[in-house]
């Protein structure tokens, strides 16, 4: 599939997957999609085993709550093991299963919707439609619990508070949670229709001229004929959604009280990079601190544990912990080099891959960031992102201080 980008180049959609790897400077890199950021302890252990046995012992968390395994010595063996673990349900769709969701799952604050059932329905529907394998690898679907934490991510299609947002715009499409997956899939198909009629270079709805209104018009026409989804008529003005408590860009760490009396524990992964040992520690913390009757259903690996969610801000959340177990889980993870203290300087720092993993990088930004963090005794006043070149890969959204390598030190920029 070739896609013309907006600088006039014609190039293939190079988003990596578990089958189509990226040839990085430190070896082949594979990306595994985890819809909603959900992964069981058993599957996390298998990823750790693959990273240690087939790769360079590095698992990266991405800004879409997916994972990347670096330095693969046998991409084919990796893909075979990932498929056997149940993490590759459709070879044709594996690079387009980009679904983010509120990681606290309707358990805290104003959010009431547990997004995971809708995420799973949406993923199955996506994989069931052969045509949707042709979506660009950057096309993104989001399910927001009602707290607004997904709104800042700029997803192409977002379900939020009984409405469908298109490229962040409220285009007048109301829908209940029970019908949301069908309408979201219809929006993705409408995007492909619009691309086919002349905007073949578009990767995202926002790149279509008047994209939200055009997609909404197609959905309005289709749903009027079928009456399968309740909605209001689409609007044509770009209308920003009003949302309570839109999440900022800085990673958080620490305990979060759930409505049911249990506890969620958010864990900062320094610079978004896990070793196999750290991934195993997360799996162990989820298994060890899961009382009977409160864990996820068993997966094909046979293990159970409290729900584990990866987040778009490159943290890990353990849900449904008994209050008495949260401290033990935190100690286990801190011992593995992860961060559960909200006062840690790591709670505000991110970076790109840098040298030696990226040939374009002008510096070893991870090492430079580590040295800088060692001089701090509290989180920075604003999130800080370290980048090895002008591409600034992995840059969080929102207000971020950027430290950009120039080949002669770093240039500080403010966004």
Q: What angle do CA 173, 177, 179 make, to 5 degrees?
A: 70
Instruction: Report whether 180 contacts 121 (CB < 8 A).
Output: no
Q: Using alpha carbons only, how large is the chain's radius of gyration in Å?
A: 21
Q: What stretches of 128-210 show up as alpha helix (H) in DSSP?
A: 177-196
pLDDT at 290 over 90: no
CA atoms of 317 and 340, how far apart (whole Å) = 10
The topology under which CATH files domain 254-344 is: Sulfite Reductase Hemoprotein; domain 2 (3.90.480)
Same fold, 254-344 and 347-414: no
pLDDT at 390 over 90: yes
Q: 347-414 has which CATH code?
A: 3.30.413.10
| Count of Cβ atoms closer than 10 Å to residue 108 Cβ | 18
Average pLDDT of the residues in 42-52 = 97
H or E, element range at 122: helix 116-127
Task: Give the per-residue pLDDT at 231.
Answer: 42
Task: Give the per-residue pLDDT at 304.
Answer: 79
Task: Give the per-residue pLDDT at 415.
Answer: 74
Phi first, then psi, for residue 248 (nearest 5°) are -80, -170
Question: pLDDT digit string (tens) for 109-143?
Answer: 888 999 999 999 999 999 999 999 999 999 999 99
Give 147's contacts (C-beta < 8 A, 6+ positions apart). 102, 104, 108, 109, 110, 111, 243, 244, 245, 247
Task: Give the per-residue pLDDT at 247.
Answer: 54
| Count of Cβ atoms closer than 10 Å to residue 283 Cβ | 24
Task: Give the per-residue pLDDT at 252.
Answer: 83
CA atoms of 221 and 219, how far apart (whole Å) = 5
| Count of Cβ atoms closer than 10 Å to residue 318 Cβ | 27
Instruction: Report whether 363 contacts 388 (CB < 8 A).
Output: yes
**ω into 341 cis (within 30 of 0):** no
Question: pLDDT digit string (tens) for 53-85?
Answer: 999 999 999 999 999 999 999 999 999 999 999
Q: Which CATH superfamily is domain 2-226 in?
A: Sulfite Reductase Hemoprotein, domain 1 (3.30.413.10)
Calculate the average pLDDT of the chain.
88
CA atoms of 268 and 337, how far apart (whole Å) = 10
Average pLDDT of the residues in 238-255 = 59
Task: Give the per-residue pLDDT at 316.
Answer: 98
CA atoms of 113 and 295, how far apart (whole Å) = 19
With pLDDT > 90 as the criterion, what percentage of the chain qualifies?
A: 79
CA atoms of 303 and 82, how far apart (whole Å) = 16
* Sheet with strand 27-32: strands edge to edge: 22-24, 27-32, 67-69, 59-61, 273-274
In which band, very low, low, confident or very high, does the pLDDT at 187 lie, cut at 50, 70 and 90? very high
pLDDT at 320 over 80: yes
Task: Give the per-residue pLDDT at 47.
Answer: 98
Per the DSSP assignment, residues forming a β-bridge with 141 are: 99, 157
What residue spans define the domains of the chain?
2-226, 254-344, 347-414
CA atoms of 255 and 323, how far apart (whole Å) = 9
DSSP conformation letters of 351-407: E---TTT-TT-SS-HHHHHHHHHTT-SS--SS-EEEESSTT-TTPPSSS-EEEEE-S
Q: Is 407 exposed, middle or buried (0-12, 13-18, 19+ CB in 10 A)?
A: exposed
Average pLDDT of the residues in 371-392 = 94
Tell if the pTM clears 0.85, that is, is over it. Answer: yes
Dihedral sign for Cα atoms in the order 203, 206, 207, 209: positive
CA atoms of 402 and 46, how far apart (whole Å) = 35
CA atoms of 130 and 13, how far apart (whole Å) = 18
């Amino acid at each position: 599939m070739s896609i013309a980008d907006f600088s006039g180049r014609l190039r293939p959609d190079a988003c990596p997957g578990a089958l189509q790897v990226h040839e990085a400077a430190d070896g082949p890199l594979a990306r595994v999609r985890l819809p909603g950021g959900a992964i069981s302890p058993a599957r996390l252990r298998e990823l750790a085993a693959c990273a240690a046995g087939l790769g360079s012992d590095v698992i990266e968390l991405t800004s879409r709550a997916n994972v990347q395994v670096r330095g693969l010595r046998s991409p084919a063996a990796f893909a075979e093991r990932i498929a056997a673990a149940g993490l590759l349900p459709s070879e044709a769709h594996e690079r387009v299963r980009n679904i983010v969701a509120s990681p606290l799952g309707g358990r805290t604050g104003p959010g009431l919707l547990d997004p995971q059932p809708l995420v799973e329905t949406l993923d199955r529907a996506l994989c069931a439609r052969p045509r949707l394998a042709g979506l660009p690898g950057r096309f993104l679907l989001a399910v927001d619990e009602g707290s607004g934490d997904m709104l800042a991510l700029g997803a192409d299609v977002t379900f939020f508070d009984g409405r469908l947002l298109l490229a962040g715009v409220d285009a007048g499409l109301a829908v209940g949670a029970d019908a949301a997956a069908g309408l979201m899939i219809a929006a993705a198909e409408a995007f492909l229709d619009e691309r086919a009629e002349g905007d073949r270079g578009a990767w995202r709805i926002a790149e279509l001229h008047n994209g939200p209104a055009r997609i909404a018009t197609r959905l309005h026409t289709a749903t009027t004929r079928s009456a399968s989804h309740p909605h209001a008529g689409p609007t044509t003005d770009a209308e920003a959604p009003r949302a309570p408590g839109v999440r900022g860009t800085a990673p958080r760490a620490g305990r979060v009280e759930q409505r049911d009396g249990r506890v969620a524990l958010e864990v900062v992964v320094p610079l978004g990079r896990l070793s196999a040992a750290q991934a195993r520690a997360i799996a162990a913390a989820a298994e060890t601190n899961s009382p009977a009757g409160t864990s996820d259903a068993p997966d094909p690996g046979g293990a159970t544990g409290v729900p584990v969610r990866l987040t778009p801000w490159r943290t890990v959340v353990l849900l449904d912990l008994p209050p008495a177990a949260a401290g033990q889980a935190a100690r286990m993870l801190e011992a593995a080099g992860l961060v559960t203290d909200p006062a840690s300087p790591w709670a505000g720092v991110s970076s790109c891959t840098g040298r030696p993993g990226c040939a374009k990088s002008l510096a070893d930004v991870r090492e430079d960031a580590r040295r800088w963090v060692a001089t701090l005794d509290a989180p920075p006043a604003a999130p800080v992102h370290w980048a090895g070149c002008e591409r600034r890969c992995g840059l969080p959204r929102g207000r971020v201080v950027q430290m950009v390598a120039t080949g002669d030190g770093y240039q500080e920029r403010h966004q």
